[in-house]
Amino acid sequence: MKAEIITIGDEILIGQIIDTNSAWIAEQFNLSGIEIYQITSVHDDKEHILEALKKAEEKVDLVILTGGLGPTKDDITKNVLCVYFDTKLVFHEPTFEHIKQRFKNRNIDLNKLNRDQALVPESCKVLSNKTGTAPGMWFEKNDTIFVSVPGVPFEMKYLVENEILPLLQNNGKTKAIFHKTVQTQGLPESMLAERIENWETSLPKNLKLAYLPNPMSVRLRLSAIGNDLNELKEQVQDEIERLKQLIPDHIFGFDNETLADVIGRMLVEKGQSLAVAESCTGGYISHLITSVPGSSGWYKGGITAYSNEIKQNLLSVSAESLKKYGAVSEHVVREMAAGAREKLNTDFAVATSGIAGPTGGTEVKPVGTVWIAVSSPDKTISEKFVFGDNRERNIIRSSQTALQLLRRKIINWDSNYFHKFV
């Protein structure tokens, strides 16, 4: 089944609000096997809405309209729908009873605008809205279904979940769709594409791959379309197993998991703890970690050592290393990691020292140069990276890379442990 979302309202077209409704509807519909063909945002304008309805009817089996059903004067959706379906507004007694009840519960008097909300196009099926005063509406014309819901997010969600999806499922024409997102880190999009090219080319026809890059990671989304949801899940899982063989070091999680989520899960399993020592990342690693609910169970805390004085006094970095190699150096970042692990009394510690920019770079150490170290019970590892020239992105990428190194160290340390003792 193919659908189009039409959002009505000037507030979207002047950029006053972000259209989060469409993303939510798109996700719910996709999960129910309804493919979204197009999302269209139009003005509160009769001719424009009529035109959008006509174009949508030519292409899709289902049109969902949001917005333009509230009690104020500028809402014209119902009148336009009467024109489009060649019908007229009639008074709908059950809706009026519902509105009266809501106002009575809140001790507010009804006015004419409220009463007018009980007027609905004669040819529609009324969808009862328990969360507000404006009802949803369901029309059928030729082979296309049209549904109209208010733009208030929680009212829209209520009607989609409790009225529209159940009604659509009863007609049994929808296809099954399954998505899974693979989170990768450490390979830029172009290199990742090269590494997995043969795998991508050999994917079955009913599977689609999408690259979703952001400054934190590159996500790979696999979408399978077919008749049987369980078969699709198996098919996607099989392909992911093949993908794991190709980039085992770069996959860190699935769907909405973050690196901090994954690290937290591993540390909880092992009963181990973490500290951080940040220079160029300035607290951002600590923020990513403490964004995970329950992180206080495995994260003790961190030191942002922005000045050399703090590196010496709180992390016991030696004055000699600072003088001889500079703050952005392998020696210093290793001392920072080891110092944090000792001072905060944890199993693991991760440290960063670099030049975030825009100033402070030299020929030998340009802006974007970052040293990262991870200290663990057996040893300290360190690595140098050169990112770009944008301060904000350097902070994000350094932090994400530090967490990725930490994750690898936790896994390595574990395998050494088992190798030695099991």
- Per CB under 8 A, which of residues 37..76 are in contact with a copy of itself? 37-43, 48, 55, 70-74
DSSP letter at 275? E
Residues 341-360 that bind a copy of itself (CB under 8 A): 343-345, 356-359
Per rule CB under 8 A, count of chain residues that contact a copy of itself: 111
Q: Are 66 and 151 in contact (CB under 8 A)?
A: yes
Per-residue x/- mask for a copy of itself, residues 112 to 131, rule CB under 8 A?
-xx----------------x
Task: In angstroms, give the least distance from the CB of 325 to a copy of itself.
Answer: 18
Token digits of residue 97: 């009873």
Q: Are 223 and 26 in contact (CB under 8 A)?
A: no
Cβ-based neighbours of 408, under 8 Å, separated by 6 or more = 249
Residues 135-164 that bind a copy of itself (CB under 8 A): 152, 154
Task: In angstroms, give the least distance from the CB of 125 to a copy of itself.
Answer: 25
Q: Are 134 and 78 in contact (CB under 8 A)?
A: no
CA 341 to chain centroid: 33
Task: In angstroms, give the least distance from the CB of 230 to a copy of itself.
Answer: 20
Q: Which is nearer to a copy of itself, 106 or 420 (CB)?
A: 106
Question: What is the C-alpha to C-alpha distance for residues 380 and 341, in angstroms, rounded to an integer?
Answer: 10
What are the residues facing 119 on neighbouring strands? 91
Task: In angstroms, give the least distance from the CB of 249 to a copy of itself.
Answer: 17
Among 141, 157, 179, 180, binds a copy of itself (CB under 8 A): 179
Q: Which is nearer to a copy of itself, 283 or 318 (CB)?
A: 283
Residues 235-274 that bind a copy of itself (CB under 8 A): none
DSSP letter at 85? T
Q: Which is nearer to a copy of itself, 13 or 165 (CB)?
A: 13
Question: What is the C-alpha to C-alpha distance for residues 66 and 5, in angstroms, rounded to an integer?
Answer: 8
Task: In angstroms, give the least distance from the CB of 349 to a copy of itself.
Answer: 13
DSSP letter at 215? S
Among 54, 309, 362, 377, binds a copy of itself (CB under 8 A): 309
Among 276, 338, 351, 406, binds a copy of itself (CB under 8 A): 276
Question: What is the C-alpha to C-alpha distance for residues 265 and 278, in angstroms, rounded to an integer?
Answer: 22
- Report if residue 361 touches a copy of itself, rule: CB under 8 A: no
Residues 8-37 that bind a copy of itself (CB under 8 A): 10-20, 22-30, 35-37
CB atoms within 10 A of CB 161: 11
Using DSSP's 3-state secondary structure scheme, residue 120 falls into strand
Burial class, 269, CB count within 10 angstroms (exposed 0-12 / middle 13-18 / buried 19+): exposed
- Report if residue 106 touches a copy of itself, rule: CB under 8 A: yes
Amino acid at 157: K
- Report if residue 282 touches a copy of itself, rule: CB under 8 A: yes
Residues 194-233 that bind a copy of itself (CB under 8 A): 194, 200, 208-213, 221, 223
- Report if residue 390 touches a copy of itself, rule: CB under 8 A: yes
- Of 103, 105, 107, residue with least CA distance to 118: 103
Among 65, 232, 336, 395, binds a copy of itself (CB under 8 A): 395
